[in-house]
Amino acid sequence: MMSERELLKKLSVATNVKMPPDKQPSIWESIEQRMDYTRSFKRMRRPVRILGFSAAAAVLAAVVGGGVYLFSDHGGPSGAAIPQYTTGGSAPAPAFAIPTAIQTISMSSDTPARMMLPAKDPNSAEQNVLTWLRSATPYAGKVPESSNVGTLHGYMGPAQLNMVSTDGQAVSIEPASYLTKAAGGQIQVQYVQDVIVYSFGSEKMYLHAPELFAWLKNDEWKTEFGMH
Amino acid sequence: MNQQPVKGDGGSGPASSDGRFAKEEVQTKEAIRALYELYSNDIYRYARMTLCDSGDAYDVVQEVFVRALRSWPAYRQDAQVKTWLMSIARNYMVDLLRKKRTERRYITAAELPDVGDPSTAMDVVMEIQDALHQLKDNYRQVVILRHIENLSLQETATILGWSQNRVRNATHRAVKKLQEILSSTTGEVNIKHDVRA
């Protein structure tokens, strides 16, 4: 039988096992991104702690209400029609706050495990996304609700873009989609053409943004994001 | 490996302003970054030898340091920082192992390049991993912590939440069992060589 001394000598070889050198920085990058993302949500929860839930909800309702009022087709006190929101040059500014500068940007993949992938060139990715967002317009159509597809053992849906602005606002963007159950129990992801969901905090807005939609839905983002 | 990042004043009281929050966050991140530089390979090795899968081991490294970042303000420095990180890893892996019990993984040649250090004798590492996986979970843990991570009795006891006596006895039995396993493996190899000759 192998002696204890021989065994311990063998075990000591395993002490040299290390991560590949390129893996260490990429894992740290993922850790940082996860923390930045979580932190920004904590920051948004802070006003709720300071103001109290009711007051924060009232403020939120006022902001959302204002947004709805701005985009809805409504008449003034005298019955005179106020022009609807259009994409023309004289149109009012969108009610959603487009970040002016981005602190972090990453993609959550469309795989069941939802891997978080950093941008290879964050500046270029940020500029593209901000440009597409600036030309986005609110989408007034209806997005169908997902069918009851039961419990899914993994994520099923489109890839999602995650950003944290320099003022700590967390934003996520994904193509507008819903799940349907096809014949044979197959579950399908259906997309609303050219429409994206812009989420910040607990708010969601549907925006018409064809380029951003195509970039996300057609996996064009995959050339710009991934483990280094 | 004995150097430890110094904790800032972040955990001593409620934050009073955004500036203070930001400062604490930066301090925490710097401290954990230093710990990452020092101990990420130790966590990886512990996870890799326990789970026998490099992908899962990377997940463990990421999760351990995310959890460390979150709980750093509450860390009371009454345990060695490496022991604290290893305990986080151990707790996370207990859950992982429970989930994986039904889908036991085997070592494949495809995992070989992920072990990292090129100077390591890969055949020996594979042999050890294979043998470790024939041990029951508790025995595997004590062997890895005592003889691969080279932790003391007390540190191992802290990580596993056992008494030092239990660690001592389990290590003794685990080493005996491992000797048997590795001897039988070597025997098989010798017989095959004899036949070829």
ipTM: 0.72
Is B120 exposed, middle or buried (CB count within 10 Å of its CB: 0-12, 13-18, 19+)?
Answer: middle
Q: Which residue of B27, B41, B146 is the best one to mutate when testing the A interface, meaning the one whose CB has the most A CBs within 10 A?
A: B41
Does pLDDT of A37 surpass 70? no
Residues B144, B150, B151, B157: what is their CA dihedral angle, to the nearest 10 degrees? 30
User: And the tokens for A195?
Assistant: 């429409």
Strand A170-181 to A116-118 pairing: unpaired
Contact A18 B69 (CB under 8 A): no
Q: Does B175 touch chain A (CB under 8 A)?
A: yes
Most confident range, picked from A19-23, A63-67, B100-104: A19-23
Give me the phi and psi of A151, to 5 degrees please: -85, 130
Contact B49 A17 (CB under 8 A): yes
CA distances from A67 to A61, A79, A174, A203, A206 (A): 10, 21, 21, 12, 12
User: And the tokens for B70?
Assistant: 């979150």
User: Rounded mean pLDDT of B139-149?
Assistant: 94
| B152/A57: higher pLDDT | B152
Q: Does B44 touch chain A (CB under 8 A)?
A: yes
B138, B171 in Cβ contact below 8 A?
Answer: no
Task: Give the contacts of B71 (CB within 8 A, at least 6 positions apart).
Answer: none
A33, A106 in Cβ contact below 8 A?
Answer: yes
B28, B72 in Cβ contact below 8 A?
Answer: yes
Does pLDDT of A77 surpass 50? no
Q: Which among A95, A125, A119 is positioned nearest to A198, based on CA atoms? A: A95
At B47 the pLDDT is 93
Does pLDDT of A154 surpass 80? no
Strand partners, A16: none
AA letter at A188:
Q
Tell me how far apart the alpha carbons of residues A25 and A2 are, in angstroms, rounded to a whole number. 40
CB-nearest to B41 from A3, A14, A19 is A19
Give me the phi and psi of A160, to 5 degrees please: -130, 135
Contact B128 A13 (CB under 8 A): yes
pLDDT tens per residue across span B154-175: 999 999 999 999 999 999 999 9
Residue B125: alpha-carbon gap to chain centroid: 15
AA letter at A51:
L
pLDDT tens per residue across span A156-196: 678 889 888 777 778 889 999 888 877 777 777 888 889 99
Work out whether the CA dihedral A181, A182, A185, A188 comes out positive or negative.
Answer: negative
Mean pLDDT of all residues in chain A? 71
pLDDT tens per residue across span B46-68: 999 998 888 888 889 999 998 88
Tell me how far apart the alpha carbons of residues A161 and A173 are, in angstroms, rounded to a whole number. 5
Is B143 exposed, middle or buried (CB count within 10 Å of its CB: 0-12, 13-18, 19+)?
Answer: buried
User: Which residues of chain A does B44 touch, with a Cβ-Cβ cutoff of 8 Å?
Assistant: 17-19
